[in-house]
A and B are shown apart, each in its own frame.
Chain A
């Protein structure tokens, strides 16, 4: 059997090997940067000052640069250029800073796989848009908006991880990464193993149960037990995000599952109200991915 022939279980060899690595725990999961965990802890303490936060963020120059860039973007429309971190934090607020810190940290850790830049960029935009829609769903349900953002941001964390592992596998086996067939198998691995990989990352990063449930059950939230509203929120948000990010106008936009809508008790007009926030959500996504 060649490397690209499908085995009897219909999965490609690449998928099987990556799956075996995941099962054996032979995965290098990058550590969350200390600055990210420290910023989140300080923001949660509610005693945070802009100066304290700025001092923390200064420890990570790439994060600091990204925050300044976003604060100067059109989404925040500063009347004069923002030149200091403290100014940036005051402008954006602690909530946005925390969101951005988490987002920037995650992106820097796992959304960097050579030759798949465009795909990863699209995935990243999808994660940000899902996070923003999840926040709006939570707001309309009077649930916690911060938790919803985090769940939306990280529900697809397994995809870049699998991609990275699949690319490593292709290199190890000296396969041609530019071959259409190889790329198709890499994408298959991503789709088949993304939840498994996401759970792996979530366990290593000790992410909260709501995030774990969102990774595992966003497509079947009724199976998520006590976390089913978190999983349903992300399930609905991911559909709304995909519709909003579509480059061509969709004839029939995808509809969230009845199961998820039922769990969230979101009526059609309430969904319309959330979709109506598309412009501001895309503005935020654009500012964070510029």
Chain B
């Protein structure tokens, strides 16, 4: 019988990873507690990242649509020449967050998971000290401790983030007014999402990306299309240049010095140069843990740290650092810790990127498949040519199917275009079913829908194979 402060599992952090781990453990009858340092459950994903930024994106897209339909129907231009306040665009984010946190509270309650507010730090491998905001302390004991404390923005050396002129993704959306210009330092998902959203809102955005291409993990054609879409709404990309310094001039402009000596000027700067594990104050060194050279907690394929009964999941262990993958990790970590089976197919996680337009991807890219020694073909369809795409006037979009020659098996789906993050799930199901590309031709989708793009891309790849067969 466990005492009041003893648990089978204590999860530190109530974001998607922590919640998933906690509910999975509770479902099998374990006594579970979740410790959250913030005032409300849900984690940074809910309160500072995913939900607020997606709310802003939706508001921006709607604002542009309103302008289009109020004026020239064919011109999807960014909002220009008008002072736009930022906060009204985020007006209903409070309601969205409240609904989410209420759902999480209900989930915790339904599973009889204790929810404890405070900052956790390790006393020893089985004991955590919890400091409340009031300064009061208590200790919790657990047989298994899960570190799901998420991450926080990395501030590169030389770049002082004052949250006033030079902001990070935690402080960006506290701006009251849209800046006339914004320099985005970074080339990952967060940088690309905010760069395209603010460009759509009429801000002059310069994306300074130290790597050769933004979001390098993407299918190269999809990444190229993103760059085209971004520049078409007024965005500027400076590729392959490192930023060495950002200095506010004390008046209205921050100057960013690049490693080639050039200077970029902007009213506000967003530093989106990656995230680091949120383990500060946890005292992991007391139990023999340390962050690796990338500032992350190292785990094995069962999400165990070097201390086997201490697991780490979500952003603290690094890429892909998505809410969806974090939730999956939480579930897998607990099931493997308890020796329960894990469905292999469920490890397939799509990537959803809320740029303008959306990008989504699941499975292998052609480059990855080729590297794995597979012979592949890529079928394409332009979404704006599908009936639904034409009706909805969503603008350009591209769906790419990667399929193995010979076996005709679908290996990956890569999409850029509005609703890509929804559309990708059709491909995900086909991948889980280990289907061939013929599945998109042999079966019927609703008409007219954007799902037609799958059929057109499948026809394209099959036509390529037929042409290859016909060749002498």
Contacts and interface: CB of A to CB of B under 8 A. Distances in A.
Contact of A268 (B48, B135, B179): B135
Interface stretch (A28-36, A143-151, A169-177): A143-151
A92 B250 CA distance: 6
Nearest to A144: B174
B171 interface: yes
A140 B171 CA distance: 10
Nearest to B135: A268
A223 interface: no
Contacts of A139: 162-164
B119 interface: yes
A267 B250 contact: no
A89 interface: yes
B176 A262 contact: no
B175 A261 contact: no
Nearest to B181: A46
A50 B251 contact: yes
Interface of A: 44-50, 89-95, 138-139, 142-147, 226, 258, 261-268
Given A44-B176, A46-B180, A142-B174, 12 more contacts: A46-B268, A92-B250, A93-B248, A94-B251, A94-B252, A139-B163, A142-B48, A142-B171, A143-B174, A144-B176, A147-B176, A263-B39
Contacts of A261: 133-134
B160 interface: no
Interface in B30-89: 37-39, 48, 83
A95 B252 CA distance: 9
A142 B176 CA distance: 13
A145 B174 CA distance: 9
A150 B306 CA distance: 50
A164 to B, nearest CB: 31
B267 A46 contact: yes
B252 A142 contact: no
9 contacts: A46-B178, A48-B252, A93-B250, A93-B251, A139-B162, A143-B174, A145-B163, A146-B164, A267-B119
Contacts of A145: 163-164
A267 B38 contact: no
B131 interface: yes
B164 A90 contact: no
Interface string B218-248: 0000000000000000000000000000001
B143 interface: no
Contacts of A264: 39
Interface in B91-145: 94, 119, 131, 133-135
B251 A90 contact: yes
A139 B174 CA distance: 10
Contacts of B38: 265
Given A45-B83, A94-B251, A258 B134 contact: yes
Interface of B: 37-39, 48, 83, 94, 119, 131, 133-135, 162-164, 168, 170-171, 174-181, 248, 250-252, 267-268
Nearest to B83: A45
Given A261-B134, A263-B39, A144 B175 contact: yes
Nearest to B180: A46
Contacts, number: 69
A110 to B, nearest CB: 25
B253 to A, nearest CB: 10
Chain A interface mostly: helix
Contacts of A49: 252
What are the 3 A-B residue pairs with the smallest beta carbon separation, nearest first? A142-B171, A144-B174, A265-B39
Contacts of B163: 139, 142, 145
A226 B94 contact: yes
A46 B179 contact: yes
A264 B37 CA distance: 12
Nearest to B252: A94
B174 A89 contact: no
Given A145-B164, A266-B133, A46 B250 contact: no
Nearest to A265: B39
Contacts of A94: 251-252
Contacts of B171: 142-143
A91 B251 CA distance: 7
Contacts of A89: 251
Nearest to B168: A142
A42 to B, nearest CB: 10
Contacts of A266: 133
Contacts of B177: 44-46
B250 to A, nearest CB: 4
B133 A262 contact: yes
Nearest to A44: B177
A44 B83 CA distance: 9
A46 B176 CA distance: 11
A232 B178 CA distance: 26
B196 to A, nearest CB: 20
A263 B176 CA distance: 21
A265 B133 contact: yes
Residue picked from B170, B176, B181, B268, most chain A C-beta under 10 Å = B176
Contact of B250 (A91, A226, A262): A91
B174 A262 contact: no
Contacts of B48: 142
Nearest to B174: A144
A146 B39 CA distance: 23
A144 B179 CA distance: 14
A101 to B, nearest CB: 15
A231 to B, nearest CB: 15
